[in-house]
Structure 1
Amino acid sequence: MSLSLKLAALAEAGAPIRVGVIGAGKFGSMFLSQAPRTPGLHVLGIADLDVARARRSCERVGWPAERAAATSFAQAMRDGTTFVTEDSEALIAADGIDVIVEATGNPAAGIRHALLCCKHRRHIVMVNVEADALAGPLLARRAAEAGILYSFAYGDQPALIAEIVDWARSTGFEVICAGKGTKYLPIYHASTPETVWGHYGFSEAQVAGGDFNAQMFNSFLDGTKSALEMAAVANAADLEPAADGLAFPPCGVDDLPDVLRPRADGGILPHKGTVEVVSSIERDGRPVFRDLRWGVYATFEAPSDYVRQCFQQYGLKTDASGRYTAMYKPYHLIGLELGISVASIMLRGEATGTTRGFRGDVVATAKRDLQPGERLDGEGGYMVYGKLMPARASLAAGGLPIGLAHNLVLQRPVAAGRPVTWADVRFDEANEAIRFRREMEATFRTETGDGIRRAS
């Protein structure tokens, strides 16, 4: 039976899946816009540090005022309405909650909420890729030990990439490369909140008239967000990042099989079974023909001459040899598609992508020469961007993860383009996020010596 029919059956039986949403920003709002239209789903509660903002989000996506008017979780259960609160722990602990959607984007908050979900046995959809890239391997293990599902968010690119990889492997194909598209030029790595709007082509009037967060937008532009998402994919799909990180080759959908194949066969990949992000603009700024800026892909290989012939007979775009081809999805709908994760967890007992090991890491890398005494300003800021590295290389170098590169003071200089290490900063071992990450590093380093053991 399909998910939609199963959801309809839940609605008819008066037994909906009860969801708690933490974070009523863009992703959370997109999910909230579709949840009332999805049979068998009930948003029991929303938690946000700014309750007024959460209520404005509900209003903006079309909720009538009475839908979010509950004064307690108990009332929300009785009336089928939603209780809005600033207390995320109370939401996770609330009677009746089945699934928590963690959409804060704050890595420390994501770790805390995931551990609370383990404590209260709530399944979790980890929209927060920042938290997953920072500590997902150990969080996934804790979730498995607690008997809950820890899932990527369907609609976000990591989950959609994981779906294509799973499709390819389930049909007997070897995945050569998997990833997504974005807008990229090498100069973007040095972008700051002051330069970001020029790179996007936004005018001062456009910025002044919209709800734009310069540092958040800059984290997408300077390569950090792409690195985080590809670390998540590498860790979910047992794919090994390139030693030099992401290359961001300009590439349209028709050229995926040519570009994203091994160097020995004429492509750019150092090895099979890796991740990469393709750029929607050429290095000289011209648009790529049939770009994949909003989409996801996987390249795979024909295992025999017979299959190669089938590729040709059924119109697949291949490289000149006919061996390499690609499957792609041109768009993703972010939070509008998130209900698939919730339904899959509760009705199929399956996550829509989940962290399985520690193969990729994202290390804070200097945008300029950094000096002792300076205070790091985190992803999308003026000082560092996140660079994808193989986990074993990050562990060997003592790399500081980008998710913790906020408000830490440098005690040693770091040259532009170099990774920041734990030894370069002063940090508080008692901080929960730092403590958990350090535990994860020690766990994976001790167990295998290379940091890639599967999480569950």
Structure 2
Amino acid sequence: MNLHALLARRHGAGNPVRVGLIGAGKFGSMFLAQVPTMAGLEIVAIADLDPERARTACHTVGWDETRLRQTRFYDSGSRLISEMTPEVVIEATGHPAAGITHALGAIAAGCHVVMVNVEADVLAGAALAQKAREAGVVYSMAYGDQPALVCEMVDWARAAGFTVTAAGKGTKYLPAFHASTPETVWQHYGLTPDEAQAAGMNPQMFNSFLDGTKSAIEMAAIANGTGLTAPDDGLLFPPCGVDDLPHILRASNNGGCLPADGMVEVVSSLERDGRSVFRDLRWGVYVVIKASNPYTSACFRQYGLKTDASGLYAAMYKPYHLIGLELGISVLSAALRHEPTGATRFYAGDCVAVAKRPLAVGEALDGEGGFTVWGKCITARRSTALQALPIGLAHGIHLKRPVPAGAIISETDVELDESRLDVRTRRLHTALIA
């Protein structure tokens, strides 16, 4: 509640929070748009594979020439860290291997890390968080993105003495979307390929949102940040509007759809026949809570909460999330409070690669949102038992045995180089919180 006051104090002392941004895509650009109105915070450097694209992004979001001249631009995140050593490094590349490299470099340099890159966090977040603790710096999820927002809601509920029955987000989902590819994605968004290209929209990234992979990654992150249970064999994506959250998001033995209480889940904004759900939560996040006694249940009713028929279950939700526009909360929390806005603490869930079609020996996997695999959220226990290939490693590696459509790909099915930094960090991640 006092971040703005703490920032004003730093501004008054002439000691601004120095920030380095790695990755000037949509999320990073949304944060850059807010920077001119955040007195006491300075972007000292931006790294992007295309520095000119980063400069253009700064122009697009309204930066003036003075601010641009005061900012260094790099084509390497590692160089940004070593040459500038900012107080906080934001990793927003979306590439898991790059995210791990940058996070480890920033931690070694004594920088706090805000990990927008959920792919890297789900792949190896426990190891990165452990390294940060040892170095005395903060490793944090990114506020504005759903995992950090949901972790905050779960923490609020538990701190207030409620039992959390379910938590998650909304999205647009139909079962057929799992087979979507970068060639078919735009028809589901009502766009032509030419319109999408003109708008600068990346088909593989948008396909990850559609085919269920991004939802699976985010739910695994929430499970690992809160200790909530992940589904054993994938998210159910039940159609559900905000008024029905406490009815549907509870255990099946109490009339809901979940195998048990205390789970992560994504609700769909579409009925299975394609009709829109009434009062959907497509852009929002939620937590379902359970009253501990009849008095609390009566209070739910008295203060207008939507409950299930028993009155014991109620839901709180945010209808929207503002993505990079809210990222400053994480940056300031790390720098001024030395607290993360959510971080991996458990190994409860994993996001594993599933074959979109029959895959042959020698084929190269193309990762999140591509033509070959989609990501499924399952329990860490099951992932370990199957030696499942995490989606974060399923890019640019070749199959050494065929995999049928719909099967979870095992690490034994692929040629995996154990000497790679991302693979070694993944091994540390699973060892630390197994």
Q: Look up the equivalent residue of 2:169 and give its one-letter code.
A: K
Which residue in 2 is equivalent to 1:250? 239
Native 8 Å contact 1:68 1:84 kept in 2: no
2:219 is the counterpart of 1:230:
yes
Which residue in 2 is equivalent to 1:27? 27
Compared with structure 1, are the counterparts of its residues 374 and 331 closer, same or farther at alpha carbon in structure 2 (3 Å cutoff)? same
How do 1:23-102 residues align onto structure 2 when only pairs under 5 Å count?
Answer: 23-69=23-69, 81-95=70-84, 97-102=86-91
Q: How far does residue 48 in structure 1 lie from its aligned partner after superposition?
A: 1.0
Q: How far does residue 441 in structure 1 lie from its aligned partner after superposition?
A: 3.1
Which residue in 2 is equivalent to 1:106? 95
Native 8 Å contact 2:284 2:321 kept in 1: yes
SS at match of 1:6: helix
| Distance (whole Å) between structure 2 residues aligned to residue 176 and residue 156 of structure 1 | 21
Which residue in 1 is equivalent to 2:167? 178
Q: Look up the equivalent residue of 2:340 and give its one-letter code.
A: A
Q: Give per-residue Cα distances to partners, 1:161-202, cap 9 Å, x unaligned.
A: 011101101100011100000000000000011110111111
* More displaced stretch, 298-307 vs 143-152: 143-152
| Distance (whole Å) between structure 2 residues aligned to residue 392 and residue 211 of structure 1 | 40
Q: How far does residue 210 in structure 1 lie from its aligned partner after superposition?
A: 1.3
Which residue in 1 is equivalent to 2:116? 127
Aligned partner (choices 299, 303, 315) of residue 310 of structure 1: 299
Which residue in 2 is equivalent to 1:408? 397
2:252 is the counterpart of 1:289:
no
| Distance (whole Å) between structure 1 residues aligned to residue 39 and residue 177 of structure 2 | 43
Which residue in 2 is equivalent to 1:145? 134
Q: How many residues align?
A: 434
| Distance (whole Å) between structure 2 residues aligned to residue 268 and residue 209 of structure 1 | 41
SS at match of 1:426: coil
Which residue in 2 is equivalent to 1:371? 360
| Distance (whole Å) between structure 2 residues aligned to residue 207 and residue 88 of structure 1 | 28
TM-score (norm 1): 0.93
Aligned partner (choices 252, 258, 282) of residue 263 of structure 1: 252
Q: How far does residue 311 in structure 1 lie from its aligned partner after superposition?
A: 0.5
| Distance (whole Å) between structure 1 residues aligned to residue 421 and residue 85 of structure 2 | 28
Q: RMSD over aligned Cα, in angstroms?
A: 1.2
- Which 4+ stretches in 1 moved above 4 angstroms? none
Percent identical:
59
SS at match of 1:310: helix
| Distance (whole Å) between structure 2 residues aligned to residue 117 and residue 208 of structure 1 | 34
Native 8 Å contact 2:124 2:428 kept in 1: no
Aligned partner (choices 318, 322, 343) of residue 329 of structure 1: 318
- Structure 2 residue ranges without an equivalent (≥5): none
| Distance (whole Å) between structure 2 residues aligned to residue 340 and residue 83 of structure 1 | 23
- Structure 1 residue ranges without an equivalent (≥5): 70-80, 445-450, 452-456
SS at match of 1:184: coil
| Distance (whole Å) between structure 2 residues aligned to residue 119 and residue 348 of structure 1 | 20
SS at match of 2:158: helix
Q: Look up the equivalent residue of 1:24 and give its one-letter code.
A: A
| Distance (whole Å) between structure 2 residues aligned to residue 336 and residue 94 of structure 1 | 27
Q: Look up the equivalent residue of 1:403 and give its one-letter code.
A: G
Q: How far does residue 439 in structure 1 lie from its aligned partner after superposition?
A: 3.4
| Distance (whole Å) between structure 2 residues aligned to residue 173 and residue 238 of structure 1 | 15
Q: How far does residue 127 in structure 1 lie from its aligned partner after superposition?
A: 0.2
* More displaced stretch, 12-21 vs 82-91: 82-91
How do 1:356-435 residues align onto structure 2 when only pairs under 5 Å count?
Answer: 356-435=345-424
Q: How far does residue 443 in structure 1 lie from its aligned partner after superposition?
A: 4.4
| Distance (whole Å) between structure 2 residues aligned to residue 440 and residue 338 of structure 1 | 25
Which residue in 2 is equivalent to 1:202? 191
Compared with structure 1, are the counterparts of its residues 163 and 210 closer, same or farther at alpha carbon in structure 2 (3 Å cutoff)? same
Native 8 Å contact 2:137 2:338 kept in 1: no
Q: Look up the equivalent residue of 1:147 and give its one-letter code.
A: G
TM-score (norm 2): 0.98
SS at match of 2:350: strand
